[in-house]
Structure formats: structure tokens, C-alpha cells
Amino acid sequence: MATACTGRGLSFLRSLTCHVRGTALSGRPPAGLHTSAALEVNKNWERRNLQLYPPQLPGEPRRAAEVHHCRRQIKYSKDKMWYLAKMIRGLSIDQAITQLEFNDKKGAKIVKEVLLEAQDMAVKNHNVEYKSNLYIAESHSGKGKYLKRIRYHGRGMFGIMDKVYCHYFVKLVEGPPPAVEPRTGLDQAQEYLLGLRSRTVRHSL
Amino acid sequence: MAVPLRRTLIALHRATCNNLKSADGWVDVRQPHPLVVPVRGKKRHFIPPAVGIKEKTKADPEARARAAGLVFRQQYVERSINISCTAGIFDPYIPPEGDARLSTLSREGLKQRTEQLRQSAASQLAIRKIKEHDPLFNTKTFPELAQDIFIQAHMALTQFNKEKLHSLVTERCYPEMTRGNRLKTIRWSFVESLEPPRVVHARCPDMVTKTNLYGQVTLRMHSRQILALYDRFGRLLLGSEDEPKDVLEYLVMERHVVNPYGRWRLHGKIVPAWAPPKDPIMKTVLIPGPKLKPGEDFDALQFEVPKPQSVQWSK
């Protein structure tokens, strides 16, 4: 269809479609078109960066800047990536980068690159003043699209081998990392007892 | 597994044959067809997609498509150009230094120099050319229209009304006005005009052919405006909504005069070399330091922050 129009016509069509796609959140295919689930990719995490907030009133507390960043189709297992994502949750960005630098896993290098990219984006595009004043609010891994291969077994048997890929998502928020109250075993035990004591017994004698 | 199956089959075959042979008087009986059971051989039933890719890549897909009868239409590699506006400001107006500022020069001399449009013959010629094609053009009434267009264009920018903005602003000016503004909120309002706007400069350049004329008229506007810029999270970046500021601007309006449907649109602004620096933004910015050779030390006291050159540029 692209070849059917001349260059000029194509740019005209492009300008028309740009007019139609007014808002920042309409990058999907048009409603009438049906594509299979295998072809449609979910880009919601990137779209969160395009959300515009209304101007704040002078009395309101200053809203913290948020940056969402991700890397797709990393050649690594999502379960192995989860360990790294869990490790850096709640740390400040400098601490997280230091920890990842001295981690021996393959995914650590990739996660560190993603964090540095996100920090750069935050300073350049999202009006974050100090690049160290960020902490990791959310960090998780997701399953990517797997490739399937044959794994040969004996006696003519075979298994379908998955070549695993994963996505890694991170959300950086401006400000110092929130203080986590350390919960000891004693605290947990006390809470458990409290829960038991505050039960209401119905229809009893 | 195949061997025991075969044995049972042979045994079955023999048994049936024996049974039939022992029956009496039945000469015409045919030998029963043996039970056909598919035997599993070495044939691979599932061929994975990875196998056979080498052969596919070696074979030319284009040749195969052509052989199949698939025809692609010729691809035109063309690049479109926009002829409804020019790409810049030709022969820009150089605003005299000390305009709208208290200076040591005498006020009368300054007025004489700035108010006399007749000094520039080229401007007069350009205005005459514009009047040829557009008889309604008048240097007395045009500034009001231009100010109107300016105000409407900026209101459209605050609402981000793309269609209206395209009709009020040329294609060259549009990206300059809107770049980086999609994820920002702009609050702008025009309070009042301190001096009536007037035409200070006009040029009528032609593109490609002598008859393809574009009229560019520069206006001087002294007004009071309120501008507040908020970033993506609604935090104030620049300006304030309560404090109006006095602004002296040199706007350039352009029209494709040869086109009967052409309209006067905002083409750009001229920022003079002597313009005062803008207010600082409410943010600390990291200025990259000098490139050091290995072994050198950074001397913070001796380092001077590079200042921008004071050159006239057009926005």
C-alpha cells in the first residue's frame, strides 16, 4: 500500500494520520482492524511516560517526578532476572548501581545499563534536578516472546526447548528513598497475637 | 517395539490362513487381506522451524517471488517540499540598539531613526510589490491584524489546537513553537499593548522563479504579557501567572502573495543581539566541564562558565 502512493502523497497521508492521532495515548491499531495476540505487543509501560498532569496549585506539595523505563526481549530468564529486580527495590539509584556493578550475574550488567539510561532520561526529558535524588519505586521482570527449538532425547523422543527472553521494567521516583521500618520476628509475633485476639466469635454460647 | 508387533502380525496372518484352509469345500475363498497396521519408521513427523532455514536463506526470495508471479509496483523515492512558506527570514531586520530602553542618546534622534520607514527603499519596494498582488494590504491597518493573529496563535498554543495553529502560523514556525511542548502545560495571556504595533521592515523574496513571491513583513510590538510554563508533573518551570512582563518583540509575518488563498501568518521572531538575558529557570543545571587529559586536575576556581555569544538570531 505504501508503494501505491508517491512520496508526496505518502507524507500527506502521514500528516492526516498525525492529525487523527491527537492524544499521546493512541498508538494502537484502529478499532476495526483485528490482529492476532501473537503480533500485538504491550507497550503500556512506555506510555506511562506520556501522561501529563495538570498544573499544581500553589498550596499543594510538590509532586515527585516519575520516570518509567524498560528493556524488552533480554536474552535471560525472567525467574533469574527477578532476583536482581527484587534486590534493588527501594534502594536509591546510586546504591542500586553500585550493588549491580559488583554482582556476578549476567542480568546485573543489563539492569545497570537500564538504570543509567533511565537516570539520563530523567535529567534530560523529565525535569529532574539532581540525578542522584532518585530511588527505585518499582522494579520487576516479565516474560518476553520465546523462540521454540527442538531438544533431542533418546529413542526418537524430543522435547520443545524454549529460548527464554524477558523484559525488565523499572520506575524511578524523585526524592530520597522511603525509610523502611525494620520488622523483627517479635513484631510479627505480636501482630499475630493481636490478630487472634481481635477475632469476633459469632453464634457462640 | 516394532519387532514384537511384527511377530504377532505374522502369527495372526498364519492363524487366519490356517483356519480358512481347514474349512471344507470352499475352493473359491480368497486369501484374506492382511490387517494393515502402519509401522512407525524413521520419518520425522514434526520438523521444527529452525531446520531448513539454511536452504531458505540460500535461495533468493526475490527470484522465488517473481517465479510465483508476485509483482511489486515501482517504489518512488521522493521527498516532498512545502511551498506554502519559506524556510527562513530573508534579509532580517536589525533592530537599532537601545530601542525601548533609556539610553544616553537623545530621545528625539532615536525616534527619528526608528519611526522612519521611508529610509529603507527596499522595504518600500517590497510593500509596493505586496500591494500589487494584495490590494487590501495597508501599513496602517496591518499591524492590528498581525497583533490579532499573534494573540490567537498563542491562545491556540496554550490549548494545543493543532488545526487552528497551522492556519495562523507557518510551517517553519510551527515546530519551533511546539517542540517539546506536548508534555508541558503553557499558560499565556496578553494583558495589554504598551505601544501601538507598527511595521518596521518588509521584504519580498522570490523562490526558484522570479514570479513566485513571498511577502515578509516585520512588526515591532511592545506589550505586556503573562507567561507560566509547567512541566509534565504540573510544577512551575518558568515565569509566573501573577506577574505580567513587558515584552518588546519583532515579529515576522509571511504570506505567499502569489497564491490567492494565501494568508498572513506568523513566520518567526527576531531576537536582537542586545536583548536582555531571560529570567533563570527554577532548576540547577549541570554544565559540562572541560575535557581533561589523564593526570590533569580540575581547577574549580580558575574555570570560567562559558557565556553565550550576543548575536542576533531569529526564532
Mean pLDDT by 10-residue block, N- to C-terminus, for chain A (205 residues)? 41 42 53 71 94 92 96 97 97 97 97 97 93 96 94 93 96 96 95 96 89
Backbone Cα Rg of chain B: 41
Neighboring chain A residues of B162 at a CB cutoff of 8 Å: 19, 22
C-alpha cell at A166: 524477558
Residue B147 binned pLDDT confidence (cut-offs 50, 70, 90):
very high
Distance of alpha carbon A117 from alpha carbon A100, whole angstroms: 14
Kindly report, residue by residue over B21-50, the tens digit of the pLDDT.
Answer: 544 544 555 667 788 888 888 888 877 777
> Is there a contact between B235 and A149 if contact means CB atoms under 8 Å apart?
no
Distance of alpha carbon A154 from alpha carbon B176, whole angstroms: 67
The pLDDT of residue B312 is: 81
Distance of alpha carbon B20 from alpha carbon A131, whole angstroms: 95
Q: What is the ipTM of this complex?
A: 0.74
Nearest by CB: B182 against A11, A24, A126: A24
The pLDDT of residue B149 is: 95
Q: Is residue A99 within 8 Å of residue A112, measured between CB atoms?
A: no
Kindly report, residue by residue over B57-77, the tens digit of the pLDDT.
Answer: 777 888 888 888 888 888 899
- Which residue type sits at B68? A
> Is there a contact between B230 and A64 if contact means CB atoms under 8 Å apart?
no
Q: Is residue B9 within 8 Å of residue B37, measured between CB atoms?
A: yes
Beta bridge partner(s), residue A140: A169
Helix (H) or strand (E) holding A10: helix A7-20
CA angle B161, B162, B165 (to 5 degrees): 85
Kindly report, residue by residue over B201-219, the tens digit of the pLDDT.
Answer: 999 999 889 889 999 999 9
Q: Is residue B283 within 8 Å of residue A129, measured between CB atoms?
A: yes
Burial B232-243 (b: 16+ CB within 10 A, else e): bbbbbbbbeeee
Instruction: Tell me if residue B192 falls in helix, strand or coil.
Output: strand
Tell me how close the Cα of B58 comes to any Cα of chain A, in angstroms: 21
Residue partners of A165: CB distance under 8 A and separation at least 6: A73, A74, A75, A76, A143, A144, A145, A146, A147
Neighboring chain B residues of A56 at a CB cutoff of 8 Å: 230, 233-236
C-alpha cell at B257: 502573495
Residue of chain B nearest A151, judged by CA positions:
B48
Indicate the DSSP class of residue A36: -
> Is there a contact between A52 and B46 if contact means CB atoms under 8 Å apart?
no
CB contacts < 8 A (A, B): 74
Tell me how close the Cα of A146 comes to any Cα of chain B, in angstroms: 13
C-alpha cell at B292: 581533561
Q: Which residue has the cell 505586556?
A: B224
Distance of alpha carbon A168 from alpha carbon A141, whole angstroms: 4
Interface test with B, best of A150, A152, A153, A160 (most B CBs within 10 A): A150
Residue partners of B197: CB distance under 8 A and separation at least 6: B143, B144, B146, B147, B219, B220, B221, B222
Tell me how close the Cα of A164 comes to any Cα of chain B, in angstroms: 16
Among A6-20, B245-259, B291-305, the least confident range = A6-20
Residue B118 binned pLDDT confidence (cut-offs 50, 70, 90):
low
Distance of alpha carbon B186 from alpha carbon B192, whole angstroms: 19
Instruction: Tell me if residue B168 falls in helix, strand or coil.
Output: helix
Give B245-257 as a DSSP string. EEEEEEEEEEE-T
Residue partners of A166: CB distance under 8 A and separation at least 6: A74, A76, A77, A78, A81, A141, A142, A143, A144
Question: Measuring CA to CA, which residue among B183, B218, B199, B236 is closest to residue B315?
Answer: B218
Distance of alpha carbon B52 from alpha carbon B5, whole angstroms: 34
